[in-house]
Amino acid sequence: MASSFDFFDSVFQVVKLIPRGRVTSYGAIAAYIGTKKSSRVVGYAMNASHAIPGIPAHRVVNRLGCLTGKMHFSNPEEMEQLLEKEGVLVENDSVVNFKQLFWDPSIELEL
């Protein structure tokens, strides 16, 4: 199954669904897709997301709420800028109130 959609594509689909002003983690996306162990690949997929418009990679952080991928943006500041622009406060490279802003696809999309 999922032959039509690659792992990368699946990740992109979920990331696109992340509401504005919300954030999620790589593991949450991987878990939603069904391959929790592939959380690492999710991050790697994000790296490729640069080639695809409409992929709010800045809304994806690690389980600690840390902006691990900010250095991969055009400018390291861009990730923080985009998040703060959406109302997500970032302090010390970490999302403030990460737990509140956390958007779990396996829960939110389940409703």
> What residues line the site for DNA (CB under 7 A)?
6-8, 25-28, 30, 35-50, 57, 62-64, 68-73, 79
User: CA of 17: how far to CAs of 3, 11, 21, 46, 78, in Å?
Assistant: 21, 10, 12, 14, 20
How many residues are listed for the chain in this entry? 111
Nearest approach, Cβ of residue 37 and DNA (Å): 4
Cβ atoms of 23 and 83 within 8 Å: the answer is: yes
Closest to DNA by CB, 78 vs 96, is 78
Closest to DNA by CB, 20 vs 50, is 50
Closest to DNA by CB, 68 vs 103, is 68
